């Protein structure tokens, strides 16, 4: 019996069609400090799995309120561990899915070379116009900045100079644009190829509570293959190496 010429093409196309049918999209709420690494991870994830990421970045506290009000996010990558745990306790997230994907580092940074010294003494001298930090009620990096300033005994003296960003991304823009002479941002935002432009002081970890950043599958992502695939991907060697290269610790 003669086999039609198209049969081979159809046979080879079937696996591709099956893969396309299995591919899905997942809506991810990402803490602003992790936006750049997440977009880099997304490119690899989409290429390696076929799934597509729909990324929104912002303050963890704002995401919490949105999720509680029914926002259609399926996965949360928070800037802390408390928010995912709270969502789990309230029945808005899957308990077994929560894990630490990164531990952040706080840095005092200025776009101006020489302004921030290697010991952070600039804070005690106070010879600058404004200092930026993220809203401590919404952004864990902002809360960490306040803790550090209080531990150094300079919070009250510098408070009149505060410029508060809605999230750490806006805080970075304040400093980058010159609206603030210096500010507290995430190391990942200013580290490029292992170096930092401008001037910076890596704030000692003893001055603030650890910035443990947890991921969790939200109720709307329960049982969704793309959401589960993302969580597994973040635990893999490829993603962990990228996260580490961006200035985070990985446990």
Q: Is residue 250 part of a domain?
A: no
Comparing 9-18, 41-50, 62-71, 106-115, which segment has the lowest mean pLDDT?
A: 9-18
Q: Is residue 135 part of a domain?
A: yes
Q: Which of 66, 87, 84 is nearest to 214 (CA)?
A: 84
Helix (H) or strand (E) holding 109: strand 106-110
Q: Which of 78, 31, 81 is nearest to 56 (CA)?
A: 31
Between CA 234 and CA 230 the distance in angstroms is 6
Between CA 207 and CA 196 the distance in angstroms is 21
In terms of pLDDT, which residue wins out, 18 or 31?
Answer: 31
Looking at the fold, whether 15 and 96 belong to one and the same domain comes out as yes
Q: Is residue 233 part of a domain?
A: yes
Predicted pLDDT of residue 192:
81
Between CA 217 and CA 222 the distance in angstroms is 7
Q: What is the CA radius of gyration of the chain?
A: 22
Cα 247 to its chain centre, rounded Å, is 12
Domain limits for position 174: 106-202
Looking at the fold, whether 111 and 96 belong to one and the same domain comes out as no
- Report the CATH number at residue 85: 3.40.190.10
Instruction: Work out the number of other CB atoms within 10 angstroms of the CB of residue 140.
Output: 29
Q: Please state the domain count of the chain.
A: 2
Looking at the fold, whether 92 and 120 belong to one and the same domain comes out as no
Q: Is residue 239 part of a domain?
A: yes
Q: Is the pLDDT of residue 45 over 90?
A: yes
CA atoms within 13 A on the CB side of 55: 22
Looking at the fold, whether 182 and 161 belong to one and the same domain comes out as yes
Looking at the fold, whether 196 and 121 belong to one and the same domain comes out as yes
- Give the model confidence (pLDDT) of 57-92 as tens digits: 999 999 999 999 999 999 999 999 999 999 999 999
- Give the model confidence (pLDDT) of 143-180 as tens digits: 999 999 999 999 999 999 999 999 999 999 999 999 99
Looking at the fold, whether 89 and 49 belong to one and the same domain comes out as yes
């Amino acid at each position: 019996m003669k086999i039609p010429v198209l049969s081979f093409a159809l046979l080879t196309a079937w696996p591709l069609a099956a893969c396309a049918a299995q591919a899905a999209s997942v809506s991810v709420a990402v803490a602003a400090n992790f936006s750049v690494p997440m977009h880099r991870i997304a490119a690899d994830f989409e290429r390696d799995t076929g799934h597509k990421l729909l990324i929104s970045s912002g303050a963890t506290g704002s995401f919490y309120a949105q999720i509680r009000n029914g926002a259609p996010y399926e996965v949360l990558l928070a800037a802390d561990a408390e928010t995912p745990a709270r969502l789990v306790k309230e029945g808005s997230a899957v308990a077994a899915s929560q894990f630490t994907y990164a531990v952040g580092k706080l840095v005092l940074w200025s776009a101006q070379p020489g302004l921030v010294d290697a010991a952070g003494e600039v804070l005690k001298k106070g010879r600058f116009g404004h200092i930026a930090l993220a809203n401590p009620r919404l952004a864990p990096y902002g809360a960490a900045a306040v803790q550090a300033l209080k531990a150094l005994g300079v919070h009250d003296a510098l408070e009149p100079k505060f410029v508060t960003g809605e999230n750490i991304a806006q805080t970075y823009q304040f400093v980058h644009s010159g609206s603030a002479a210096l500010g507290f941002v995430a190391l990942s935002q200013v580290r490029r190829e292992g170096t930092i432009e401008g001037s910076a002081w890596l704030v000692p970890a003893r001055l603030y509570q650890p910035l443990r950043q947890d991921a969790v599958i939200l109720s709307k992502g329960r049982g969704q293959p793309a959401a589960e695939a993302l969580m597994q991907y973040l635990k893999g060697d490829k993603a962990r190496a990228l996260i580490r290269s961006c200035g985070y610790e990985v446990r």
